[in-house]
Amino acid sequence: MISLTSPIETWAHRLPAGTKLLILSALTVALFLAERPWMLGVGLLTIAALYLSAGAVFLRQGLRHLRMLWPFLLLIAVWHGLTGQVQAGLIIALRLLAALALANFVTMTTRLTDMIAVLTWLLAPLRRIGLSTRAVTLAIAMVLRFTPMLVENGNRLSMAWRARSHRRPNWRIVMPMAALALDDADHVAEALRARGGILPDTGSGRD
C-alpha cells in the first residue's frame, strides 16, 4: 500500500494534525461561501504559494496528485459552456480545485496515523453509546492508502495498453482495474482475518 504523505520534510509536517484539519475545515467553508471568480482565483494563487513555500519538488509532487482532476474540470467547463453558464462553471471549477488542493496539502504533510488519531478522538463520544468506531477509522485509513494505489494501477495499465496499441485505452482498462482492485481487497481481507479481524472497542479513549 502507498501513503499520500510526502517524504519531503516541510514546515507543515511539524504542525499538529488536529490544527491542520481544523484550518482545512474553516478554509473549505470559506471557499464555498465565496461567490466571485476573482476571490476564488486569489485563493487558488494563495494555495499555490503555500505549496511553493515547501519547495519546488514538493510543488511538483502536489501537482502530480492533482492531475487526476482534469477530466472533471473539463466536463464542468464543457457542460456549463453548452448551457451558457460560463461564470457558474468557472466558480465551481475553481472551488473544486482549491478545496481539493488544500485537502491534498494537508494529506501530504500529515502522517496517516496522526489523522486517524484525530478521527478516533472525534468519534470517541459514539463509543459511550455502544457504537464501534474501529470500522469507521479503518475504512478511512484504507481509502487514504488505496486511492493512490488505484491511480497508479490505472496509469500502469494505460502505459501497457499504449505499448501494444495505437488506440486509446478508454473503457478497455476498466475490467483489468476492477480485477486488480478486487485482488487487492482479497489480500487485505485475508490479512485482517489473520490478525483477528476488527476487534471491538475497549471503551477507553484510544483504539
pLDDT digit string, tens, across residues 149-189 = 777 777 787 788 778 777 776 667 778 778 877 887 777 77
Query: Do the beta carbons of residue 4 and residue 144 sit within 8 Å?
Result: yes
Q: Residue holding cell 514538493?
A: 58
Query: Do the beta carbons of residue 31 and residue 99 sit within 8 Å?
Result: yes
CA angle, residues 44, 48, 52, in degrees to nearest 5 = 170
Q: Which residue has the higher pLDDT, 106 or 145?
A: 106
Query: Do the beta carbons of residue 94 and residue 86 sit within 8 Å?
Result: no
- The predicted model gives 73-90 an average pLDDT of 84
Mean pLDDT for the chain? 80
- The predicted model gives 98-112 an average pLDDT of 90
